[in-house]
Chains A and B, each alone.
Chain A
Amino acid sequence: MRIILAAAAVVMLAALAFAAPWLQFVLTLAIAKGFAALGVAVLLRAGLISIGHAMFFAASAYGAAFLARAGINDLGLLLILSVLVSALIGAIAGSFLVRYRAIFFAMLNLAVSMVFYALCAKLYGVTGGTDGLPVPIPAVFGIVFAEPVFKSILFYLSLMLMVLVGLVVHRYLDSPLGHALSAVHSNEIRLEYLGIPVWAVLLIAYTISAALAGLGGAIAGLAIGRVVPDFAFWTASGHLVLIAVLGGIGGVPGAFIGALFLELLHSAAVTVTDAWNLFVGITLIVVIMFMPQGIYGLFERKEAQSS
């Protein structure tokens, strides 16, 4: 039942983008943010809230810009290398951040990401300062397409990656390592007494979550065509937490549901009022009060009732 629903949702998204090509950009950005929110959701399973994951989102987008400037002009290669950059930064930052818990973990992530933001904004000669850097349209299998065609290709590639990466992350969360990650939230003492190294479990999760945020950042950079320091600003990190909570952390689709919901809500709300945040705020209040498992929790509950 769950697989049928997920497949139907993917087909519907593809059809929607085909029928209304102007939506492709919005949906690509939503999927990109969905990847980053999935990274945040992975850590939320261990009870760790990161208010700094926009750093990895931005690092990967900057990575794509630098790599393009260095002459790497292939979409696949750019995506892979950018994700590796963010995963590497994640592994380095994670090696000391995962020693902390609760508010200390959240604040340290915030602090590190703000240092990164400041560097991006101030190192004008390297990063272009607040103007940022362009991310040129790369070739796809050696062919350079016109911008509208490339944006379509990027959307359908993102959609495909959402399915593939989603399945891989689902497998990871269902593995002993994924269950150990959830168990960190329940009882670290018991994990240690089982002989499981909590630090290593968390470091792997942190690196995976950074790679996911990085994948989102690379897609966003390519979709927008530019990367600016605001990608790493703390409000962007807060936005990712909001998406994860809104969508629900009970399963992989939650992050993408939250991102799609929020992007579409934003797109609709800005046509009515400048105060679109009002809609977002009210929605979040409703979700937290009446749907503590997020929007995805509704599907899970329905499925549990029907079985």
Chain B
Amino acid sequence: MSRPILEAKNLRVAFNGVKAADGASIAIHDGEFLAIIGPNGSGKTTLLNICTGYIRPISGSVLLDGNDITRMSPRAIARRGVARAFQIPQLFSAQRVIDNMMLALAAKDGLWSAIRPLETAERRDEAKALLELVGLDGDTDRISSTLPEGHRKLLDIAVALALKPRLLLLDEPTSGVSALERFPLMEALMSALRQRRITALFVEHDMDVVARYASRVLVWNAGNIMAEGRPDEVFGNAQVRERVVGVA
């Protein structure tokens, strides 16, 4: 197997004595769609926070392409090609949907061209194409705070995609999205990831989504890895079925 894009080694993090990571190590390789599942409060989001520089671990290290990024800021890590979509969408709520997208595209292209306006024909087209991909093409000119929760989630994902990342971290991409929209969204997302050769790590509670789209599943429990493998292997594990999936 090729060298991992992202590796987290021997991570230890605790909040008020509760261990969110207890010496666990993970690695994600080029082209993978790694799903992380686990009970609420098991430390899945904390893992994403560590990998993106938002939280510093007590000990352990995070490597991106073999380079240590443990002490880097989220900004520095983002500039190295790691994008993130959040469990609670992080948007510029006072701005229009299209402006959210165009600012993300500008961040990638070069924010410092202060003379050119944010809105150029080329940037608008690119933003609209991404919005169409996630099914938000009808909301282009809406103020993002007026969007329903599911659409805010989609916009958050589209903003992350606009950064043209090599690695995308998605925190519960389908939560808040209606049951009808869930699979079409995942299909569009997976197609975009494959087309753009983006490796993805996603935290997810919907086991149908995990079973259908993950190339590998990692079960995170109380700061440790309980099981790891292909979806059919993991879901066949009795301990996982009992403690995480909820089926005995």
Report A's interface with B, CB cutoff 8 A: 171-172, 174-180, 182-183, 185-187, 189-190, 192-197, 201
Chain B residues in 8 Å Cβ range of A197? 75
Chain B residues in 8 Å Cβ range of A180? 103, 107, 111
Q: How many residues of B contact A (CB 8 A)?
A: 33
Given contacts A192-B74, A193-B78, contact A187 B90 (CB under 8 A): yes
Beyond A179-B102, A189-B90, list 16 extra A-B contacts (CB 8 Å): A171-B117, A176-B118, A178-B114, A178-B118, A179-B99, A179-B118, A182-B92, A182-B95, A190-B159, A192-B73, A193-B74, A193-B90, A194-B104, A194-B163, A195-B75, A201-B111
Question: In the complex, A171 Cα to B116 Cα: how many Å?
Answer: 8
B79 at interface by CB-CB < 8 Å: yes
Give the residue of A171, A176, A193 whose beta carbon is less than 8 angstroms from that of B106: A176
Chain B residues in 8 Å Cβ range of A172? 114
Instruction: Kindly provide the distance from the CB of B103 to the nearest chain A CB, expressed in whole angstroms.
Output: 5
Q: Is the interface of B mostly helix, strand, loop or mixed?
A: loop
B83 at interface by CB-CB < 8 Å: yes
Question: In the complex, A176 Cα to B127 Cα: how many Å?
Answer: 14
- Assess whether B107 is in contact with A194, with CB atoms less than 8 Å apart: yes
- Assess whether A175 is in contact with B114, with CB atoms less than 8 Å apart: yes
Q: Is the interface of A mostly helix, strand, loop or mixed?
A: helix
Given contacts A176-B103, A193-B52, A195-B78, contact A187 B111 (CB under 8 A): no
Instruction: Kindly provide the distance from the CB of B118 to the nearest chain A CB, expressed in whole angstroms.
Output: 5
Instruction: Kindly provide the distance from the CB of B71 to the nearest chain A CB, expressed in whole angstroms.
Output: 15
The chain A residue with its CB closest to the CB of B94 is A186
Give the residue of B76, B95, B112, B119 whose beta carbon is less than 8 angstroms from that of A177: B112
Instruction: Kindly provide the distance from the CB of A199 to the nearest chain B CB, expressed in whole angstroms.
Output: 10
The chain A residue with its CB closest to the CB of B75 is A192
Chain B residues in 8 Å Cβ range of A187? 90-93
Question: In the complex, A180 Cα to B112 Cα: how many Å?
Answer: 11
Chain A residues in 8 Å Cβ range of B114? 171-172, 175-178
Chain A residues in 8 Å Cβ range of B93? 186-187
- Assess whether A182 is in contact with B104, with CB atoms less than 8 Å apart: no
Question: In the complex, A180 Cα to B111 Cα: how many Å?
Answer: 9
Chain B residues in 8 Å Cβ range of A182? 92, 94-95
Instruction: List residues 149-207 of chain B with CB under 8 A from any CB of chain A.
Output: 159, 163
B16 at interface by CB-CB < 8 Å: no
Chain B residues in 8 Å Cβ range of A194? 78, 103-104, 107, 159, 163
The chain B residue with its CB closest to the CB of A201 is B111
Instruction: List residues 92-133 of chain B with CB under 8 A from any CB of chain A.
Output: 92-95, 99, 102-104, 106-108, 111-119
Question: In the complex, A4 Cα to B4 Cα: how many Å?
Answer: 59
The chain B residue with its CB closest to the CB of A183 is B92
Question: In the complex, A172 Cα to B92 Cα: how many Å?
Answer: 19
Chain B residues in 8 Å Cβ range of A179? 95, 99, 102-103, 106, 118
The chain A residue with its CB closest to the CB of B162 is A194
Question: In the complex, A204 Cα to B60 Cα: how many Å?
Answer: 37
Question: In the complex, A189 Cα to B92 Cα: how many Å?
Answer: 10
B216 at interface by CB-CB < 8 Å: no
Q: Shortest 7 CB-CB distances between A and B: which pairs?
A: A176-B106, A195-B78, A186-B92, A190-B90, A194-B107, A195-B79, A175-B114
- Assess whether A192 is in contact with B117, with CB atoms less than 8 Å apart: no
Task: Report B10-41 CB contacts with A as 1/0, cut-off 8 Å.
Answer: 00000000000000000000000000000000
B44 at interface by CB-CB < 8 Å: no
Chain A residues in 8 Å Cβ range of B118? 174-176, 178-179
B84 at interface by CB-CB < 8 Å: yes
Most buried by A among B73, B113, B118: B118
Question: In the complex, A185 Cα to B52 Cα: how many Å?
Answer: 22
